[in-house]
Structure 1
Amino acid sequence: MFHIKKNTVKILLCLCSLFTFSQNSSCDGIRYIENSFHDIITTADVFFGSNTTIGGKSQDLFMDVFEPSNDTEDNRPLIILAFGGAFVSGNKEKMHDLANAYARKGYVTASIDYRLYDKLAIIDSALLIDVVVKGIGDMRAAVRYFKQDFSENGNTFGIDTNYIFVGGISSGGIIACHIGLLDAGDNIPEYLETSIENNGGWEGSSSDNTQYSSEVAGVLSFSGGIKEIEWVSEKDVPVFAVHETGDDVVPYQRGPVKINFGSFSIPLIHISGGKEIYDALQNISIKSELISIDIEDHVSYFSGSTAEVYSDSIMMHSSRFIENIFCDFPVNVKPLQNNITIFPNPVQDYIIINSNAPIESISIYDNYGKNVLKTSERKISLQSFSKGTYFVKLQNSEGIVTKKIILK
């Protein structure tokens, strides 16, 4: 955790299970951290889905994609960013500066639309939950868009689909935190389950490519939060968070989210902010980092009174956080407590999975990240599959493990 108080920076960083070698040729200790590119290629208004707003209007969803120009790499990490605005205002253009800043370091970035509150009624907690669920579904659709593009269109934007990160400011950060920290197996209250079901289920209904996974490699939370801290578990992904200690809009620890209207505000649902998320992840040894800014403000570090002091430092630390994951830490592999073996491997017709722990789900992905099979059977026929490399993802309450198999 970075606690910034006046000119003092205290660093407490949880780094878990890092490998000592780089797995990607582009990892040279400079790219992804320093500004390595000057010119940026912008692809504006990429359509990735459509849906109905809470007010009943049809809305097409677009994003702007940013890439470093004259780049020879074609397997780059992707950062998908969502704007802030209390779920009632904002647009994808608000994230252009941040998206460009990461692109200059060598990342591919996308600034997305998501549906806002447009109902002709004063927002309350139930309505806010519904609009948050809609935003989560929209961001999941954006993640799936890139995985489908990789598989079906030749990887237009040159990304590594194993390293897609989501992030956002304020309300956008709340959406991103739920993408990374809320899982189907969590203790979800009935009212939230109902909202999820009414909005198309776990993946949402903003696009029809749900055969692709919306799982991500990590989260950038800029003054975001999650509804219930108990949802943080060993199945979750790393989180980099920035939060003011005196934030009165999205709480630093636990408290109500407030929607401001001029001189008055409406306190709504209680959520857990950056500090509680950091503590919860650290307690279960998931890589996490927190920059705490000792000021009573909300997102002042990017566009407010403290931006000149802190924005460059935040960019450097968040970039290094992602670079560490991409270059050293395979976050999609979280070992189960018990050994798992898959044989034979290489395989010709079927595999057998041995484990002395229960397995809740087994998914097989092809080399493009497309989910080609989901089952609970321990003996799996691959006779209908094409020859090549596949990844078997196994999950239970203890965590996730991914193993590579070769089909001959």
Structure 2
Amino acid sequence: MKKILLLLITLIINNTQAQEVKTLTYFQNDTLKLDLDLYLPKKKSGEKIPLILFAFGGGFSGGDKMQEKNFGKFMSENGYAVASISYSLYMKGKDFGCKGILTEKIKAIQIGVSDMWQATSFLIKNADKYNLDTSNFFVSGISAGAEIAFQASFWDYKLMNLYENNLPKDFKYKGLIGGSGAIMDINLITKENAIPMLLAHGNNDDTVPYNAGSHRSCPTNASGWLILFGSYAVYNHMNDLHKDVELITSCGSGHEFCGYIFHEGQQYVLDFVNNVLKGKKFQSHLIIPSEKKNAGSEKYLFCE
């Protein structure tokens, strides 16, 4: 009898947490078609669902929206919607490193950000259809996707959007979740426009700087030299502004740590979203030791 009861309880829980995935075209013209995978939890009719928009990593030259399907399933099973977007891979077949062209690298980011804004606008327009809470849209990403999330949050979309400016006036994301990402101009984050952030980064990352530094560790005379402000720089800036931020640092890890919070650390994302929606205030810096750490490295100074 107990086994039957446990089976019934399990079936009820699974049915409550069951989710569906819809592939939707959010932008299309004569030459381009962009889709997103929308992971939706089973909710009562009329109940508005917070949403996390997600952009995959891959240096603007590779990757796929299906890469983080387990993250989409995890969050939807816990009551949140996730929109994992495809976006234009402008750097495919081009050099996104030190020998690349700076203007091309910036253009790749601008196109990806414009695609994120298009996806956001599409989901706002279709919010009633999918019971989405437009006042609680989070933006997130890994590596290049996290760079999209940063710029999408703080660039002026009226000036930087390559498509129609169709986001609602004064639109703001509810929060930002970034794995090994960076922003090009840290001064774009102000006391007035700052949003809560959950950031994760390896302090020995030589692709996207952990603090302030050059992309791909390029020398200043490289044609692809690009200054970036990574997670630790943003964390300190947010603290100076007295704004909510959490940083998870993996001591000794490189760029391979970029997907941690979307893979092994999914609970951190769930707790962060829950806390933001509850209005909880926080400022924290969690250190995760790594077997790769090197106490003799200058970069290790940030992991004291």
Please, what TM-score do these two structures have when normalized by structure 1? 0.58
Partner of 1:328: helix, strand, or coil? Answer: coil
Equivalent residues in 2 for 1:4-403, closer than 5 Å = 38-44=17-23, 46-50=24-28, 58-69=31-42, 74-118=47-91, 121-122=94-95, 123-150=100-127, 155-183=128-156, 201-205=159-163, 209-210=166-167, 214-234=171-191, 235-258=193-216, 268-300=225-257, 302=259, 311-312=263-264, 314-328=265-279
Change (3 A) 1:249 1:158: same
Change (3 A) 1:111 1:216: same
Aligned-residue offset at 1:147: 1.5
Aligned-residue offset at 1:86: 0.7
Larger Rg: 1
Partner of 1:141: helix, strand, or coil? Answer: helix
Q: Which has the higher helix share?
A: 2
Q: Is the 8 A contact 1:243 1:299 kept in 2?
A: no
Q: Which moved more, 1:161-170 or 1:292-301?
A: 292-301
Q: Deviations over 1:125-171 (max 9, x none)?
A: 11000110111111011111122123xxxx12212111100000000
Aligned-residue offset at 1:295: 2.4
Aligned-residue offset at 1:327: 2.2
Q: Is the 8 A contact 1:203 1:214 kept in 2?
A: no
Distance 2:45 2:153 in 1: 30
Opposite residue 50 of structure 1, the aligned amino acid is: Q
Partner of 1:97: helix, strand, or coil? Answer: helix
Distance 1:99 1:121 in 2: 30
Q: Give the ranges of 4+ consecutive aligned residues of structure 1 lying more than 6 Å apart after TM superposition.
A: none
Change (3 A) 1:170 1:79: same
Q: Which moved more, 1:219-228 or 1:64-73?
A: 64-73
| RMSD, aligned α-carbons | 3.0
Aligned-residue offset at 1:62: 0.8
Aligned-residue offset at 1:115: 0.8
The alignment covers a number of residue pairs equal to 260
Alignment identity in percent?
A: 24
Partner of 2:66: helix, strand, or coil? Answer: helix
Distance 1:266 1:51 in 2: 33
Distance 2:49 2:212 in 1: 36
Change (3 A) 1:39 1:204: same
Partner of 2:82: helix, strand, or coil? Answer: strand
**Runs of 5+ consecutive residues of structure 1 not aligned to the other structure:** 1-34, 53-57, 185-199, 331-408
Q: Is the 8 A contact 2:55 2:145 kept in 1?
A: yes
Q: Which has the higher strand share?
A: 1
Distance 2:15 2:257 in 1: 27
**Runs of 5+ consecutive residues of structure 2 not aligned to the other structure:** 1-13, 282-304
Change (3 A) 1:284 1:92: same
Please, what TM-score do these two structures have when normalized by structure 2? 0.76
Q: Is the 8 A contact 2:25 2:35 kept in 1?
A: yes
